[in-house]
C-alpha cells in the first residue's frame, strides 16, 4: 500500500507515523512537505501527523489547514481514499472542514500526557475492522487542545450514524460525550486525539495501535 505523511513546520510525530506505517505496510511512506501541491502518484493512504504546526498560532491547525498541500488532501479525501489525522492532524482535519466539530482547550487547562484507556465505539470502519467492537485499548495521548466540541444536533447526528469511533474511558479533556475519535459520513477520514503510531511496538509500552494500521491494509 502506497502511503504518504504530510509534514508541516512544527509537525513532531511525522517520524513516528513514518515508522508505524513502514512497519505495518512493509513500505516506507513518502514524506510530503506542506508547500507541495500534489501527492505522489498512486498514494492510497494519507496520514496527517501530530505536532504543533505553525506553533498553534491563531487556533490549533488553522494555518496548516490553509496550506498549499491542503487542496490535494481534500481531493484525496473526497475521492474516498483513507485519510488519518492524529492529534494536531485531527485539529487540521476539523479546521479544513473534512470532519465536523472542533478541538478546544482542555477543560482542565493542563497539557495531558498519559496512557488513555479507550473503547472502540465502532468496529466496522475501515480503520477499526481488526478491533473487536467494544474492545478496550490503551493508547497514549499528549495534547493541550483535545476537548472535542460540536453542537448537540451534530453530536446526535454523528452518534446516530456511527461516526464516533473511539471514546475515552476516563475523559481527560472535557470532550463532548467522551469522544476521542470520529470518522466523516463516508467513513474514509478518521480524526483522533490519541496516538496509535506511538503504540505499535512492545518497547512503546503497548501495541494497541497496531490493529488500526492493519485494518487499513485490508481495506485500501
Partner 1 sequence: MKAKIHVYLKPGVLDPQGAAVAGALHTMGYDEVTAARQGKLIELDLSGEDSDAAKARVDEMCQKLLANPVIESYSIKMA
Residue closer to partner 1, measured from CB, 21 or 164: 164
Residue closer to partner 1, measured from CB, 21 or 155: 155
Which cell numbers hold the place of 159? 452518534
Minimum distance, C-beta of residue 109 to partner 1, in the bound complex (Å): 6
Minimum distance, C-beta of residue 217 to partner 1, in the bound complex (Å): 33
Is residue 87 among the annotated active site residues? Answer: yes
Binding string, residues 92-121; x marks residues near partner 1 by CB under 8 A:
--xx----xxx-xxxxxx------------
- In the region spanning residues 154 to 183, those forming contacts with partner 1, defined by CB under 8 A, are 174
How far from 117 is each of 30, 89, 91, 149, 167, CA to CA, in Å? 31, 20, 21, 20, 9
Contact 10, 20 (CB under 8 A): no
Is residue 204 among the annotated active site residues? Answer: no
The reply to whether 194 sits near partner 1 by the rule CB under 8 A is: no
Is residue 195 among the annotated active site residues? Answer: yes
The count of chain residues that interact with partner 1, using the rule CB under 8 A, is: 21
Interatomic CA distance for residues 89 and 146, integer angstroms: 11
Work out which of 62, 81, 112, 220 binds partner 1, going by CB under 8 A: 62
Residue closer to partner 1, measured from CB, 101 or 209: 101
Query: Which of the ranges 124-132, 144-152, 158-166, 187-195 carries the binding residues for partner 1, by CB under 8 A?
Result: 144-152
Residue closer to partner 1, measured from CB, 3 or 94: 94
Interatomic CA distance for residues 197 and 49, integer angstroms: 9
Picking from 93, 79, 80, 82, the residue whose alpha carbon sits closest to that of residue 49 is 93
Query: Which of the ranges 22-30, 56-64, 122-130, 182-190 carries the binding residues for partner 1, by CB under 8 A?
Result: 56-64
Work out which of 149, 169, 206, 220 binds partner 1, going by CB under 8 A: 149
Work out which of 2, 15, 59, 177 binds partner 1, going by CB under 8 A: 59
Residues of this chain that interact with partner 1 (CB under 8 A) are 58-59, 62-63, 66, 94-95, 100-102, 104-109, 147, 149-151, 174
Catalytic residue positions, numbered: 87, 195, 197
Amino acid at each position: 500500500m502506497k502511503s504518504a505523511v504530510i509534514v508541516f513546520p512544527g509537525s513532531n510525530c511525522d517520524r513516528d507515523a513514518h515508522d508505524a506505517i513502514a512497519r505495518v505496510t512493509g513500505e516506507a511512506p513518502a514524506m510530503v512537505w506542506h508547500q507541495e501541491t500534489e501527492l505522489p502518484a498512486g498514494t492510497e493512504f494519507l496520514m496527517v501527523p501530530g505536532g504543533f504546526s505553525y506553533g498553534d498560532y491563531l487556533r490549533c491547525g488553522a494555518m496548516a489547514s490553509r496550506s498549499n498541500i491542503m487542496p490535494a488532501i481534500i481531493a484525496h479525501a473526497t475521492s474516498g481514499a483513507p485519510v488519518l489525522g492524529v492529534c494536531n492532524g485531527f485539529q487540521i482535519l476539523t479546521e479544513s472542514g473534512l470532519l465536523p466539530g472542533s478541538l478546544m482547550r482542555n477543560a482542565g487547562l493542563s497539557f495531558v500526557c498519559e496512557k488513555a484507556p479507550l473503547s472502540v465505539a465502532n468496529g466496522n470502519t475501515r480503520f477499526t475492522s481488526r478491533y473487536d467492537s467494544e474492545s478496550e485499548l490503551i493508547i497514549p495521548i499528549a495534547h493541550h487542545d483535545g476537548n472535542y466540541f460540536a453542537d448537540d444536533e451534530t453530536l446526535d447526528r454523528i452518534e446516530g450514524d456511527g461516526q464516533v469511533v473511539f471514546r475515552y474511558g476516563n475523559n481527560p479533556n472535557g470532550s463532548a460525550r467522551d469522544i476521542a475519535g470520529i470518522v466523516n459520513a463516508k467513513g474514509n477520514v478518521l480524526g483522533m486525539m490519541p496516538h496509535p503510531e506511538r503504540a505499535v511496538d512492545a518497547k512503546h509500552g503497548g501495541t494497541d495501535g497496531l490493529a488500526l494500521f492493519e485494518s487499513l491494509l485490508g481495506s485500501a
